[in-house]
C-alpha cells in the first residue's frame, strides 16, 4: 500500500527551487511520479505528484518540512493527500446563464459524469435557487474586487478539496494568480470556434462579420484570454437572414453539449496537453 500526495509550488522564479523541493522529498523517502513546471513572466509554478510506502510515511514531518521550505524560498507550497482511484471532485463557476449549468447538473444526476460536484460558486446570489433545485451547495462570491474574490474562491476550493473547475458561462476573467494553481484543470466554454472571435461578444462579432459557420469551443484556461488548449468544439450553420438572437439561442444550446463533452473527456484521463495542444492518448 502507498500514500499519495500532490504538492504545488508557486512564487517568483528563482534558481534551485526544483532541486530544493525534490531533495527534501528524497529525504522523506518519497518517489516522485510526475512533475510539471513552468515559468511565465517571472512567475514559477510547479505541480508534483509523489508516493510513499505506508511504513515510510510521516504526514506531520512532511507538512512541517514543506512549510519550513516555503518560508526559506519565499514561496507558497501546499500539499494535498490523495488516493488512487478516488472520484474527482469539481467546482462549477456560474454567473447568470443557466444552460451550461443545467446540462452539467442533469448529467451528474443521471450519473453520466463520474465525478462529484463539490460546490457551485457564483458571482450573483440570484443563481442560488437553481443550484438548490439540483441539491448542490452554492456560495455567492461578489466579483467587484477581483483580487479579494479570487482569494476567497481559492480558499473555498481548498476547503472542498476540489480537483478541477468547470466554468459554466462564468463571465469573469481569472487572473494568472488563480489559473497557475489549477493548470489544465479549469475547463471553460467560449461561444466561438477559437481562435476566431475571442472576448465577450463572440456571437455579435460572428454576426457582424457575416460568417456562415459559427460554434463554440471548450478549452483549458491559461494565462491568455480565450487561448487555452482546445478540448472539444461544435459548430452550426448560420442560415440566411438568421438574426443575432437566433444565433445566440442556437449557440447556447450547443455550448452546453460541448462543455459536457469536454468534462467527460477530461475525466476519461486520456487527455495529454503538450506544447499547448490537447491530444488523446
Q: Which of 68, 64, 3, 1 is nearest to 29 (CA)?
A: 3
| Burial class of 269 by CB neighbour count within 10 A (0 to 12, 13 to 18, 19+) | exposed
Q: How many CB atoms lie within 10 A of CB 98?
A: 16
Q: Which of 210, 221, 260, 218 is nearest to 235 (CA)?
A: 218
Catalytic, out of 58, 226, 227, 272: 226
Active site residue 226: yes
Which residues are part of the catalytic machinery?
226
Amino acid at each position: 500500500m502507498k500514500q499519495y500526495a500532490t504538492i504545488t509550488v508557486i512564487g517568483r522564479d528563482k534558481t534551485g527551487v526544483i532541486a530544493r523541493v525534490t531533495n527534501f522529498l528524497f529525504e522523506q523517502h518519497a518517489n516522485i511520479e510526475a512533475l510539471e513546471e513552468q515559468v511565465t513572466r517571472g512567475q514559477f509554478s510547479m505541480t508534483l505528484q509523489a508516493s510513499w510506502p505506508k511504513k515510510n510515511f510521516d504526514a506531520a514531518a512532511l507538512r512541517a518540512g514543506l512549510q519550513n521550505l516555503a518560508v526559506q524560498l519565499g514561496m507558497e507550497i501546499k500539499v494535498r493527500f490523495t488516493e488512487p482511484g478516488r472520484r474527482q471532485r469539481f467546482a462549477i463557476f456560474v454567473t447568470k446563464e443557466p444552460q451550461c449549468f443545467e446540462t452539467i447538473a442533469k448529467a451528474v444526476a443521471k450519473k453520466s459524469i463520474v465525478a462529484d460536484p463539490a460546490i457551485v460558486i457564483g458571482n450573483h446570489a440570484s443563481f442560488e435557487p437553481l443550484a438548490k433545485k439540483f441539491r448542490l451547495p452554492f456560495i455567492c462570491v461578489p466579483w467587484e474586487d477581483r483580487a479579494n474574490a479570487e482569494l476567497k474562491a481559492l480558499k473555498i476550493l481548498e476547503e472542498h478539496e476540489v480537483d478541477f473547475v468547470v466554468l459554466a458561462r462564468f463571465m469573469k476573467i481569472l487572473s494568472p494568480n488563480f489559473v497557475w494553481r489549477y493548470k489544465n484543470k479549469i475547463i471553460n466554454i467560449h461561444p466561438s470556434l477559437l481562435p476566431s472571435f475571442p472576448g465577450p461578444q463572440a456571437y455579435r462579432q460572428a454576426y457582424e462579420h457575416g460568417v456562415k459557420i459559427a460554434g463554440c469551443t471548450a478549452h483549458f484556461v491559461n494565462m491568455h484570454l480565450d487561448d487555452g488548449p482546445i478540448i472539444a468544439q461544435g459548430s452550426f450553420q448560420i442560415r440566411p437572414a438568421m438574426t443575432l438572437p437566433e444565433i445566440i439561442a442556437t449557440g447556447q444550446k450547443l455550448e452546453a453539449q460541448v462543455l459536457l463533452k469536454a468534462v467527460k473527456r477530461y475525466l476519461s484521463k486520456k487527455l495529454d496537453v503538450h506544447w499547448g495542444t490537447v491530444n488523446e492518448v
